[in-house]
Chains A and B, each alone.
Chain A
Amino acid sequence: MTPKLQWLDDPSTFRINQLPAHSDHITYRNEKELQQRQSSLRLCLDGQWRFHFAKSPLDRPTGFEATDYDDRNWDYIKVPQHIALAGYDQLQYINTLYPWAAKMMRRAPGTVTGQDTTGMFSAASDNAVGSYRRVITLPAQWKDLDVHIQFAGVEAAMYLWVNGQFVGYAEDSFTPSEFDLTPFLTRGENLIAVQVYKYSTASFIEDQDFFRFFGIFRSVELLALPAAHLTDLALNPVSSDSTIGQVKACLQVTPVTQRIHAQIFDQAGALCEEATVEAKQKTEFQLKVVNPIQWSHEVPYLYTIILTLFDSTGQVTEVIPYDFGFRNIIIQNRELLLNQKRLILTGVNRHEWNCHTGRAISLTDMRSDLEVMKANHINAVRTCHYPDQLAWYSLCDQAGIYVMAEVNMESHGSWVSQPTKPQYNVPGSLPEWLPCVLDRAKTVYETLKNHTSILFWSLGNESYAGDDIQAMNDYFKSVDQSRPVHYEGVAHNRAYASSISDFESQMYTPPEELEPFLASSPKPVMLCEYMHSMGNSVGGLGQYMELIKDHENFVGGFIWDFIDQALLLKDTNSTRPQLRYGGDFDDRPNNGAFSGDGLLFADRTPKPALQEVAYYYGQFTK
């Protein structure tokens, strides 16, 4: 297959040869590896890659994917990292406007009749290109195994070649992109070549209020697949009462898988139940847990299922652990109930952020954030406005933090200038955008479906409303009856009031306007963003807390937001480190310090407002 640069211009082309999304389970070769949490089936490719930066596709190196291409004049770049923070691309922070606003005339495909979008990104002078090369040698013990490559996060569009041959193309910056490399690999050295584009049509729906980075900003891994392999795992733990919990498991395995041994352990390591089942391509079985302990913020009790796969010779090929909890989230009448009790969300919105590395954050950052949340009675997080690193969801399972898992979609720039009743926007009801946004919903669901901490799916943020978003809702409803769906666009386009969100969801509604709405709303009401913690702020939080007490259908909300987004960089004049924000990089247009709206400063020290949040949230949450 020959890759086409014009895929960048076409919203209906967003994944080429990318493997279907699947559960985020981690595979070990055997029991011993599991115990050591060291998998010989994974090889991390983080580190130094050869790198070339081009300001536009016209300047990109061609033929660089060839094994004999001479890259000795190229730089090195550390992966994962934002290219701008490696010193190549200009930094820019901007909120709702598209980053090219007032510089490039661009209107989203489908919104202007007769518009020819060819070249919109593929031949654009502002579409920077990062080219990456890395030579790898596969572990000897992988010689008979299939090998996949997984990019955990590449912004915003990527092309992949191995040993000079085109492998595939991916968008959707914040979810894993996985490709089968088996047909392309050789023994000995192999060349992985990646070209990353700053913009594609996907940029119209990745218009989040954040720094506009691009590049390989999350880890890259090779995955080895034994012939008997678990492709996907769907767990559905149900406990209708406190005496018996049923765990329905649905496994997709490769055809040569013979048998699966499943064991469930409680948190103390005691075996609850085990079973051996004959493998089918789609293997379904049920295990039970007697007297299951329910999972909640207060008691984040997790069980572990361990799946052992056997091939036809009776050999163990894979061992897969997965932690899960029993919890039941429903909307009953006007109330949101977790484990049959009213659930009040004392939440925050959280961008992934580190003032040195931007959105390329570490496990230490994540753990630190969870500690702050637990210490300050924050019980919920909205992953605004994209899926986080996979580790975050497991950490939330363990910490008992309720997650609103949001799809990577924000198209505010397409309707910001016409907020009350947009004449056009993306994805809207445009057919050319439907497959793309549906795919994003599917990827989020398939990847994250087993996380106990995820109580709600969220269709995205500030993308108005239309048939395409309704189709995303319908998709989630078709695959997951166990979780409510959230989308704030319900407040903007009432034609979709009953078809895009199980909640009434609003942002920044003043208490005096919220109160009558609460009184009249037949649905649970949520503030998916409130209390804008910009600078010296968070005054008047108590008014909202009173409304929680007075209205059983007010489920609380998510403070905006958890951590300031600013970059600790050298000040040009003093050369001392300075927390810099929009406009500090000659970036025009920009939104200044508007991203300095966290409960923590960008370096993770708490703002004084946190004591107020802890006080009020502590009235509802341990």
Chain B
Amino acid sequence: MVNSLNSIEIIPDGEVIGSRTPRMHCIFDRHLGLVSLRTQGREWLYRAPQPAYWRGTTDNDRGRNGKERFPIRAAGWYSSDMFPSCVSCDATIDEEPVPIEPSEALNSQALVLKYTYETLTKPSTNVTITYRLTTTALHVAIHFTGDQALPPLPAFGYRWTMPTPAQSFAYNGLSGETYPDRMHGAHTGEFEIAGMPMTPYLVPQDCGVHMRTKKVAVTRTTTLNNAQRDTSPVTLTFQADNDFAFSCLPYTPEEIESAEHQDELPPIRRTVLTLLGAVRGVGGIDSWGADVTPEATIDVSKDIDFGFTIF
């Protein structure tokens, strides 16, 4: 079967489902999620993206000693972030299940994969990541099912790890590093940031969040592909349905959490792009127990939905 501009080619091979559009080639794993996205001749994924719940604990999060500390109350999200538990995958073409091993490639207007994750919190809740691949783009919709009994949530988003470090990223949104309770001083604009700067807080902690972003585009020149000779810059763009927050850092929250000084962070190897549907504020009243204001906390009783298009 021949791929055309008007449809996507789908290549199911048991646990993995390949799909090719004029712009990109994706491979979905029925257990792990989106394991490959190739466009402009480059691979853009190191591991499958996964829900993001944790942030490198801030000094204010750590606060005072004792069980009221935010990271202790929120610890269930740390394990959920560290060990994503994907419990189901619905793969459909035009609302019909994708066959396991068809005898030939399929053609369709849209391939949809919906992954459901179960959090390791007490109680547990469900998060879904739904990919909808069409001839023009890949759309991702993220859903968090709220429950007021859930522990307080440090962040909610979607973490995408690229195989090599970004050369730069550009975004439409707010200037500087912003959080829900620290964004009034920012101005709106288009910003290009060289590298993936970590804000050098004395003890490494969550940083680099940009609120109210319409679009972020990550540019890389390097790949892990030994046969790749072209080092011209290539860019992958994430366009928000409405808006999202994001951070583009060289490290996962777990790596940040483990470092006591900036120079204890590992050598920069990858790009960790986290697109955020909900962000907890940083607080500031004090650093020994004051919580962030209620408006700047994430309301776990409510569902969270956000989406974006990748091209």
A-facing mask of B196-233, CB < 8 A → 1, else 0?
A: 00011111011100000000000000000000000000
The chain B residue sitting closest to A544, CB to CB, is B285
* B275 at the A interface (CB under 8 A): no
B286 at the interface (CB under 8 A from A): yes
Q: Do residues A532 and B263 form an inter-chain contact, with CB atoms below 8 A?
A: no
The residues of A that contact B181 with a CB separation of less than 8 Å are 539-540
Contact digits for A556-580, partner B, Cβ 8 Å, 1 yes 0 no? 0000000010100001001010111
Q: Tell me the smallest distance from the CB of B269 to a CB of chain A, in Å.
A: 18
**Contacts across chains A and B counted by CB atoms under 8 Å:** 131
Q: Are B261 and A539 in contact (CB under 8 A)?
A: no
Q: B185 to A535, Cβ gap below 8 A?
A: no
Contact A537 B284 (CB under 8 A): yes
Note all chain A residues with C-beta closer than 8 A to B185: 611-616
| Mask of A527-570 contacts with B, CB within 8 angstroms, 1/0 | 00011111111111111000000000000000000001010000
- Residue contact B201 to A576, C-beta cutoff 8 Å: no
Q: Complex formed: what's the CA distance from A494 to B206 in Å? A: 41
| Residue numbers in A under 8 Å from B183 (CB-CB) | 612
Query: Is B175 in the interface zone, CB < 8 Å from A?
Result: yes
**A3 CB within 8 Å of chain B:** no
- Nearest A residue (CB) for B208: A608
Chain A residue nearest to B55 (CB atoms) is: A536
Nearest A residue to B285 via CB reads: A510
- Any B CB within 8 A of the CB of A26: no
B40 at the interface (CB under 8 A from A): no
A539 in contact with B287 given A564-B202, A566-B202, A579-B202 (CB within 8 Å): no
Q: A536-B199, A536-B207, A539-B179 in contact; A578/B263 too (CB < 8 A)?
A: yes
Question: Which stretch (A110-118, A150-158, A595-603) binds chain B?
Answer: A595-603
Interface pair A611/B58, CB less than 8 Å apart: no
Provide the residues of chain A in CB contact with B205, threshold 8 Å: 535-536
A542 to B178, CA, bound (A): 14
B182 interface contact, C-beta 8 A: yes
Contact across chains for A543 and B293 when beta carbons are under 8 A apart: yes
Point out the residues of chain B lying under 8 angstroms from A540, CB to CB. Answer: 181-182, 281, 283-285, 292-293, 296
A538 near B284 with CB under 8 A, answer yes
Cβ of A593 under 8 Å from chain B: yes
A100: Cβ under 8 A from any B Cβ: no
Q: Are A612 and B202 in contact (CB under 8 A)?
A: no
Chain B positions near chain A (C-beta within 8 angstroms) = 58-60, 175-186, 199-203, 205-207, 261-263, 281-288, 290, 292-293, 296
Given contacts A534-B60, A538-B284, contact A612 B290 (CB under 8 A): no
Least distance between B196 CB and chain A CB atoms (Å): 15
CA A535 to CA B287, docked complex, whole Å = 9
> What count of chain A residues pass the 8 Å CB interface test?
44
User: Are A579 and B261 interface neighbours, CB within 8 A?
Assistant: yes
Residues of A within 8 A of B286 (CB): 508, 532
What are 10 contact pairs spanning A and B, CB under 8 A? Answer: A508-B286, A531-B284, A534-B59, A536-B179, A536-B206, A539-B292, A576-B263, A578-B261, A601-B202, A608-B182
Q: Does A487 contact B (CB under 8 A)?
A: no
Query: Is B287 a contact partner of A532 (Cβ separation < 8 A)?
Result: yes
Measured in the bound complex, the distance between the Cα atoms of B303 and A390 in whole Å is 58
**Contact (A538, B282) CB under 8 Å given A576-B263, A597-B287:** yes
Given the complex, which residues of A lie within 8 Å of B184, measured CB to CB?
542, 612, 615-616
- Shortest beta-carbon distance from B279 to chain A in Å: 11
- Min CB gap B174→A, angstroms: 10
Chain B residues whose CB sits within 8 angstroms of the CB of A214 once the complex forms: none
Closest partner residue, chain B, to A605 (CB atom): B200
Per the bound structure, the CA–CA distance linking A532 and B287 in Å amounts to 6
Report the minimum CB–CB distance from A610 to chain B (whole Å): 8
Which residues does chain A contribute within 8 Å of B176, judged by CB atoms?
A: 608, 611
Give chain B residues whose Cβ lies under 8 Å from the Cβ of A564: 202
Residue A607 is within 8 A (CB to CB) of chain B in the complex: yes
Tell me the smallest distance from the CB of A527 to a CB of chain B, in Å. Answer: 11
A581–B202 CB distance below 8 A: yes
Is A366's CB within 8 Å of the partner chain B?
no
Query: Are B60 and A537 closer than 8 Å at their CB atoms?
Result: yes
Q: Mark A339-374, 1 if CB is under 8 A from B, else 0.
A: 000000000000000000000000000000000000
